[in-house]
Amino acid sequence: MNPTMRDVADYARVSPMTVSRTLRDDPSVAPEKRSRVLAAVAALGYRRNEAARTLRVGGSTKLLGVVITNIANPFYAQLALGIEDHADKRGMRVVFANSGENTDRERQLVQDFAARRLDGIIAVPAANQHDHLDPAGLAAVPVVLAASPPHRINVDAVLLDDFGGTYEATSMLIARGHRNIGFLGLPAATWTGSERYRGYVAALEAAGLAVQDRFVRRNQPHVAAAVEAANAILDQPDPPTAVFAANNRNTIGAYRAIRSHGGTTALAGFDDFDFADLLDLPLIVVSYDAREIGRVAAELVCGHIDNPSSSPLARRVVIPTKVIDYPNAAS
């Protein structure tokens, strides 16, 4: 068992108060007692519980809580690195939790972070229901959202240009002569899902093309589901000549389905990923700096930690995207 302050006091033959004063560098402690206490600390391997002490005195925990939706998605690894980059510069540590795209679990996690008095929270919401992310209900712990704007709460958000990236990539497919373009999307209840679908629809409409619902599938939670959805689209009479996939798992699923159908369908997808340049299909990807999303979110939440009475006007930062046409993919 970990030694306690009482253990140190008994070992050094002093009171627990003397141990506490010694560890606070209180000059009132006699040198001889100080030496005994420090020797006892070294002998027993005692370490003070800084978290408990912080809760008692009402100080900073030096901790940021981060709630993400899918720990298996590489996007969150880069997001985490960006958050940690900024946190490290401030001597802070980051606690990560996975909601599994479940709003009830997300609610429990942020309430737990607030109860533990973490200094701030960064959340990637699982849906558009955000009442539980309002700092007013979280003991005034500042909250910043990533990849989703706030819905009926007044907090900062860091977003991707989901609409613009999808619009540009879909427009490139149209410019190459594709008129029937399939779509593998994300849940409509999420900002990312709705914005990427909106970009797809807008690009078709700008070219005078109608959306064909038979070519649209949404809410594929994993690669296997994306393969199944893509197969359902490609198995139809007069199938699409191109497919837009709304994230990397849908892109990989679509690629596998396209290969099984002869590999003649063009492919575009949101999210760059390792080895994307090695695929033997026409390939367009919407790329962006996920680490920058995390860095900016951490910067915003730390700004509220430093200035609790800062402007109540919520800020919205949009991280740009760029469309990459890999030169060694098939043309």
pLDDT over 70, % of the chain: 94
CA neighbor of 172 nearest in space, from 323, 33, 310, 296: 323
pLDDT-derived band at 24 (thresholds 50, 70, 90) equals confident
Right CATH for 5-48 from 2.60.40.10, 1.10.260.40, 3.20.20.210, 3.40.710.10: 1.10.260.40
CB proximity list for 187: less than 8 A, separation 6 or greater: 101, 127, 193, 218, 219
Domain locations in the chain as residue ranges: 5-48, 59-159+290-318, 162-287
Q: How many CB atoms lie within 10 A of CB 216?
A: 17
> What residues does 65 pair with on adjacent strands?
95, 121
Report d(CA 118, CA 61) in Å as an integer: 6
Backbone angles phi, psi at 283, to 5 degrees: -140, 130
CA neighbor of 294 nearest in space, from 87, 95, 152, 61: 87
Residue 281 DSSP class: S
Q: Which CATH class is domain 162-287?
A: alpha beta
R_g of the chain, CA atoms, integer Å = 26
Asked if residues 145 and 287 have their Cβ atoms less than 8 Å apart, the reply is: no
CB proximity list for 4: less than 8 A, separation 6 or greater: 46
Tokens of 101: 């795209």
Backbone angles phi, psi at 67, to 5 degrees: -110, 120
Q: Where are the alpha helices (DSSP H) in 237-309?
A: 248-260, 290-306
Could you check whether 59-159+290-318 and 162-287 share the same CATH topology?
Answer: yes
CA neighbor of 66 nearest in space, from 113, 135, 104, 117: 113
Asked if residues 300 and 311 have their Cβ atoms less than 8 Å apart, the reply is: no
User: 162-175 and 191-206 are packed helices; what angle lies between their axes, rounded to 10 degrees?
Assistant: 30
Q: For the segment 212-236, what is each residue's pLDDT rounded down to a tens digit?
A: 999 999 999 899 999 999 999 999 9
Residue 51: its pLDDT value, please? 53
Q: For the segment 180-214, what is each residue's pLDDT rounded down to a tens digit?
A: 999 999 998 889 999 999 999 999 999 999 999 99
Q: Which residue has the higher pLDDT, 59 or 285?
A: 285
pLDDT-derived band at 331 (thresholds 50, 70, 90) equals very low
Tokens of 323: 């469309």
Amino acid at 99: S
Residue 330: its pLDDT value, please? 46
Q: Which CATH class is domain 59-159+290-318?
A: alpha beta
Residue 276: its pLDDT value, please? 81
CB proximity list for 146: less than 8 A, separation 6 or greater: 79, 122, 123, 124, 157, 158, 293, 294, 297
What HEC string does 55-82 produce? HHHCCCCCEEEEEECCCCCHHHHHHHHH
